[in-house]
Structure 1
Amino acid sequence: MIRSLRAVAVVLVLAAAGCGGSDGGPSPSPEPPAPFTDCAALTAPPPAAEPVALSGEGKPLPEVALPCFTGDQEVTVSAIRGPAVVNLWGSWCPPCREELPAFQRFADRAAGKVTVIGVDTRDSRSAAGSLAADLGLTYPNLFDPDERLRVKVGVSALPATLFVDRDGRVRHLYNSTALDDATLATLVARHLGVTLP
């Protein structure tokens, strides 16, 4: 009887310790895949984009390397070529959440003419990925949990949007209320010279 009790006790201890090669803790649930596309084409102008004469010099994009939200590819922000719209956002930021659908609609309309790039800022991958999936966001995004680009750009609050020309120069920085479809299209036409039908 005592041997039987000892055998049962040993089995219970081994089961509780997770003898199957596990460390005994709960298995971490894998992060859901990010809905965003990869960042492979961010440093080349859109294929259908034609050079546009713009007045003034513009400021070069900052020298910051950020990982693509999808995969491990690192993108040097100063190598991005436009026409492009670079939107700094975070899932914790109410005006960012409000304007993100307009950026997706613009990305769909402007495919091949203007590149839309998001920069998830001071955020976690899981919170940002969940919001992106809920909103149906698919355009490429970079991940900046330490706010390196925000600091280099010199803005204190989000959202912030950079309008970038073919040479990688910032033609306009918008850092105000949430953008809507009409205002976004107007700013692209005014500062990048691209008008969409």
Structure 2
Amino acid sequence: MERVSQDSLRNRIIPTLVVLIVVALLGLFAYAMWFSGDSTSLASGGRINTVGRLIRFENRTAPSFSLQTLDGQQISLEHFRGKTVVLNFWGSWCPPCEDEAPVLRDFAATLDENTVIVGIDIWDQPEAAQAFLEKHDLTYPNAVDDNGRTTIDYGVSGVPETFFIGPDGALLGKYNGPVKSVEQLHGFIQELTGAG
């Protein structure tokens, strides 16, 4: 009689434990996917890069793009051929993008005719993006990636994320976090291109 009770108890406890372990593992997996890396997830569907890291690329060509700016102009990567392009992906909902915007504005004011900065707004509302530009007095070209194609082509995982493209169209590297100073950006260009 006691043997039957132990077997019956074991037959109920083991499946329950297995189910609890599987649920716990699925919960850990979901948590790891939601809060992975150096990014923070947002309800908007976008991700925020909080820790900056410069990543160098070798033998890559920058994906071409043709986008409309927030003021209605059409721009493409080909428009900037022969110049070093600093391509910044951002969103108005991103706190580090707010912190970074004055740095980008000041950086744009230091550039000569051989270097340009272009912003690409992603995962955003047009009104919020326009208000962001006005708030920070960002006058360099800022386009909207409405269909997400450019974001996917560049492999953007979160914002802010800044790519560096050589005058020949080579994708030189990216910085996946908020830039802190004008000097830091010029240092990245120097490091990646060998030019100031």
Q: If the TM-score is normalised by the length of the shorter chain, which range does it land in?
A: 0.5 to 0.7
Contact residue 160 and residue 177 of structure 2 kept, 8 A: yes
Q: 2:85 & 2:76 partners in 1: Cα distance?
A: 15
Structure-2 residue corresponding to 1:142? 143
Preserved contact between residue 121 and residue 146 of structure 1 (Cα < 8 Å): no
Higher helix share: 2
The letter for the 2-side match of 1:167 is D
C-alpha displacement at 1:104, in angstroms?
1.1
C-alpha distance in structure 2 between counterparts of 1:66 and 1:147, whole Å = 11
Structure 2 residue runs of 5 or longer lacking an equivalent are: 1-56
Conservation of the 8 A alpha-carbon contact between 2:90 and 2:119? yes
Conserved 8 A contact 1:61-1:169: yes
Q: Which residue does 1:77 correspond to in 2?
A: 77
Aligned residue in 2 for 1:97? 98
Q: Do the aligned residues in 1 keep the contact of 2:100 with 2:178 (CA within 8 Å)?
A: no
Corresponding residue for 2:61?
Answer: 60
Q: Where do 5+ consecutive residues of structure 1 fail to align? A: 1-55
Q: Which amino acid aligns with 1:168?
A: G
The verdict on how the C-alpha distance between 1:145 and 1:97 changes in structure 2, with shifts beyond 3 A counting, is farther
Q: Is the 8 A contact 1:85 1:161 kept in 2?
A: yes
Contact 2:88 2:163 in 1 (8 A): yes
Report the TM-score, using the length of structure 2 for normalisation.
0.64
CA distance in structure 2 between the partners assigned to 1:172 and 1:62 by the alignment: 13
Instruction: Work out the percentage of aligned pairs sharing the same amino acid.
Output: 32
Residue 127 of structure 1 corresponds to which residue in structure 2? Answer: 128
Q: How many residues align?
A: 139
- Taking the aligned partners of 1:194 and 1:122, their CA distance within structure 2 comes to 33
Q: Following TM superposition, by how much is the alpha carbon of 1:79 offset from its aligned partner in structure 2, in angstroms?
A: 5.6
Structure 2 CA distance, aligned partners of 1:70 and 1:193?
A: 34
Taking the aligned partners of 1:66 and 1:136, their CA distance within structure 2 comes to: 21
Contact 1:120 1:128 in 2 (8 A): yes
**Correspondence for 1:116:** 117
Deviation of 1:114 (Å):
1.2
Q: Could you tell me which amino acid in structure 1 is paired with residue 132 of structure 2? A: L
Structure 1 length-normalised TM: 0.63
Could you tell me which amino acid in structure 2 is paired with residue 77 of structure 1? L
